[in-house]
Amino acid sequence: MSGAASSSARNDDTSLSLCNLRRRTGKPLLQSVVDIYKAHNTSNDKSIQFWEDLKCYLPQEPDTRRRFQDRRSSDVIPLELHSPGKGFVALSYCWKPSQGEIKKRGKYRISSEMEKLLKVRDVVLDRTYQFLRYKQACGVMLPLWIDQLSIDQKKTPEREIAMQSMDLVYKNCTYAVGYLWTQLQTQMEMNRLSELLGGRIVGRKLTEGNPILIKGINNVVVREVLDVLTRITDDIWWTRAWVFQEDYLAGERMWLIIRHASGLQKPLVHNQLGSLRGEVVVRSDELKTYATLFCLACFNTIRQDSGIIKQSTEILEKLAKYNILYKYQYAKAVNAEKSMTISILADLDRREVEQRTDLLPILANVCGYDVRLGTNQEGFKSQNLSLSILALYIANGELLANFRGTQELKHNVVGFLRENSLRICAPLRDGELTLIKHCRLSVSRLSPAGIHTNGILWRLGDVISPQHIPKSSSATAKSLYQRDLFRNGLNDYQRERLFDLLVVLNKRRRSSKRRYGSITEDLKAYLECTGPSPTHDEWPPQHSMNAMASSIVDAIDTGKYLQLARPIGGSLGSGRGVPYRAILVRDHGDLQSVGSTYVFTSWSRTNKHNKGIMETRKIAKYVSLVVDVDEGVENGTVRLKSKRWINGLCFFDGEKKFPFIFEWPCSLSQ
């Protein structure tokens, strides 16, 4: 083990409980988190130069090669540098060869450095370029980006920049290639894989019930499908943290190439395995989708067979599709609707990486974090990995509950976050994970006093009972998918129900224009421009408004209460006489609490800012939280405690943001 790797292993404390770590450090965990944040936080800077100078390679044309080669290098294939301007392919493979894989190198050389032996194995480039020729058919072959060739692997600031910018490669490639060494051995394996990907084992359509096996699929077939999935997922490609990032970021663009034994035939009808000789070609996204549905169907229909359940669980640990797991499994659990960052972190923690601190930039890239930790900075090697993960998580605005007690510290960092993350009630019935990704605080800094942010504090007031809003004249409510909401805005039914609410507000306005004047004008203006969201913005404010408006309509249709709220500025003493500018969803039980109820909201837009050769990126963030307000202030700033998520339609135009401090969870401050 190298010295760097030894240091990495020494500080890999992710298996230890936070209670143990607190004893080791001898101080409250929040202090350790703040110290790491202050010493090593950096912004999400992407290198414009790295992107513009992306090094991609293609084999030299045969005619050119013959003129170029001499007698000693007649079998050498020079690789020429090509511009990725018209598109490029990103390779995803394991540097360490699989058991039995051919390790020979030397067939390929960089044309400008013919004496230099490449680190990439010949068989990797042979199979990958064969796939590129197959994929492009008669068209122009796209150049290939390979991390070992395209990035200087020495520990330098340039490598750190490349690591932090890796998401640009896999998010923007024309397509990616996942190189697996495993080999399908039998015709049965070939047939079962084709049947699975063709929807003939389990249906693909996401239903309100549970995934079920196609009628007639017996336990023998189930075991055969599980065996071929196990063969595929036993490949080391599924065990590497960097590969996890590449596959996650490439998404539907990732293709897998899987060898098969000679003599095997791909089905002539319903062929889902491509036509590349000697290779099975499948989309990673398709494989994960059908494999996840199949394994969940096994859980639901063959519960009594512990062997099948165990095998299904092991497969899901390698290639689970998060949105499907969320819909059918996580959403039914006690910790439903929490950030998927926790599941991503757990999956990364199970995977191998030479430098364990690389988990931090990988996690940051996958989750689109604004704040990064400089893992190559002086002094970082001495930091605890668990507490660095905690610092990264909190600094990027992920929401924590404020439970009292120390029992939460009995878990390691993954378990702690799983137990203590705040539940988020997504306002839409689908696409929750995309929305939850944006449900984060806009953190300005961390300090021993708490988590500093800016936003608007609201005091809740008048209630609108369900019986005050008339029944809909439409026969049925039409549910709206998030993609439709993003493309088209609210549908006619939703607009009709919001106009019903506007009628109620206008009636109240007649008795108190001061209180109801703004909210009626706000809602009216909103309904006049509830069109589709601008396509140039990944998560525009209009889409969040539309999503929250959908939650208001759902509340009306399900007999929930609505409560109006007014902004009160940066202190509890202000806000009197201010008109209402928000409508929030409330359950009957919520209205029984004594005293005032406060809600904190904050919104920040997607942001890209150029700083010379670097581009700083921030994703859009939105939070809406019921909070406890501390009467005391910290240097003039009101302190808040998060209680729970709340949905509602808030009108921010013209409202000033004020600084607030969220208190640290009790378990971290002891």
Q: What is the pLDDT of residues 346-368, one digit of tens each?
A: 999 999 998 899 999 999 999 99
pLDDT band at 3 (very low <50, low <70, confident <90, very high): very low
406-420: average pLDDT? 88
- For β-strands 89-92 and 144-145, DSSP reports them as parallel
* Residue 296 reports pLDDT greater than 90: yes
For residue 529, CA distances in Å to 389, 490, 520, 533, 609 come to: 42, 10, 15, 10, 29
The larger pLDDT score, comparing residue 9 to residue 155, is at 155
Beta bridge partners of 108: 77
211-224: average pLDDT? 93
* Residue 88 reports pLDDT greater than 70: yes
Note the pLDDT of residue 402: 84
Note the pLDDT of residue 10: 46
Note the pLDDT of residue 199: 94
Query: Lowest-pLDDT range, 78-92, 184-198, 414-428, 434-448?
Result: 414-428
* Residue 573 reports pLDDT greater than 90: no
Q: Are 620 and 536 in contact (CB under 8 A)?
A: no
Ramachandran angles phi, psi of 110, nearest 5° = -70, 130
Note the pLDDT of residue 606: 79
Q: What is the DSSP string of 207-239?
A: -SS---BPTT--HHHHHHHHHHHHHHHTSGGGG
195-223: average pLDDT? 88
155-173: average pLDDT? 81
Distance CA 262, CA 181 (A): 15
pLDDT band at 5 (very low <50, low <70, confident <90, very high): very low
Count how many residues are written for the chain. 670
User: Running DSSP on this structure, what letter comes out for residue 253?
Assistant: G
Which of these, 64, 153, 76, 59, lies nearest to 114 by C-alpha position?
A: 76
Note the pLDDT of residue 508: 93
Place of tokens 């084992």: 201
Distance CA 338, CA 111 (A): 51
Which of these, 234, 49, 237, lies nearest to 158 by C-alpha position?
A: 49
Taking CA 85 as the corner, what is the angle to CA 82 and CA 87, rounded to the nearest 5 degrees? Answer: 90
Note the pLDDT of residue 11: 61
Query: Lowest-pLDDT range, 75-84, 401-410, 435-444?
Result: 401-410
The larger pLDDT score, comparing residue 433 to residue 664, is at 664
Beta bridge partners of 662: 451, 640
pLDDT band at 264 (very low <50, low <70, confident <90, very high): very high
For the record, the structure tokens of 629 come out as 């307000």
380-388: average pLDDT? 89
Buried b (16+ CB within 10 A) or exposed e, 276-291: beebbbbbbbbbbbbb
405-421: average pLDDT? 87
Distance CA 548, CA 551 (A): 5
581-599: average pLDDT? 91
pLDDT band at 338 (very low <50, low <70, confident <90, very high): low
Note the pLDDT of residue 586: 95
The larger pLDDT score, comparing residue 517 to residue 670, is at 517
User: Running DSSP on this structure, what letter comes out for residue 554?
Assistant: H
573-598: average pLDDT? 87
pLDDT band at 6 (very low <50, low <70, confident <90, very high): very low
Distance CA 439, CA 455 (A): 14
483-493: average pLDDT? 80
Which of these, 430, 201, 210, lies nearest to 323 by C-alpha position?
A: 430
162-188: average pLDDT? 92
pLDDT band at 310 (very low <50, low <70, confident <90, very high): very high
The larger pLDDT score, comparing residue 222 to residue 44, is at 222
Note the pLDDT of residue 336: 53
pLDDT band at 2 (very low <50, low <70, confident <90, very high): very low
- The chain-wide mean pLDDT, for the chain, equals 87
Ramachandran angles phi, psi of 144, nearest 5° = -110, 130
Of the chain, the percentage scoring pLDDT greater than 70 comes to 89
pLDDT band at 239 (very low <50, low <70, confident <90, very high): very high
95-109: average pLDDT? 94
* Residue 58 reports pLDDT greater than 50: yes
Neighbours of 634 (CB within 10 A): 16
* Residue 4 reports pLDDT greater than 50: no
In 515-606, the DSSP E strands lie at 561-567, 582-586, 598-604
Which of these, 397, 557, 503, lies nearest to 44 by C-alpha position?
A: 397
Distance CA 202, CA 297 (A): 8
Most confident range, picked from 73-87, 448-462, 614-628:
448-462
* Residue 203 reports pLDDT greater than 50: yes
pLDDT band at 210 (very low <50, low <70, confident <90, very high): confident
pLDDT band at 155 (very low <50, low <70, confident <90, very high): low
Distance CA 347, CA 361 (A): 15
Distance CA 629, CA 645 (A): 15
Note the pLDDT of residue 334: 47
Q: Are 582 and 651 in contact (CB under 8 A)?
A: yes
Taking CA 470 as the corner, what is the angle to CA 466 and CA 476, rounded to the nearest 5 degrees? Answer: 100
Buried b (16+ CB within 10 A) or exposed e, 434-458: bbbbbbbbbbeebeebbbbbbbbbb
Note the pLDDT of residue 381: 81
526-544: average pLDDT? 73
Q: Are 565 and 584 in contact (CB under 8 A)?
A: yes
In 293-427, the DSSP E strands lie at 371-373
Distance CA 603, CA 545 (A): 11
Note the pLDDT of residue 65: 47
* Residue 475 reports pLDDT greater than 90: no
pLDDT band at 536 (very low <50, low <70, confident <90, very high): low
pLDDT band at 453 (very low <50, low <70, confident <90, very high): very high
Distance CA 324, CA 308 (A): 20
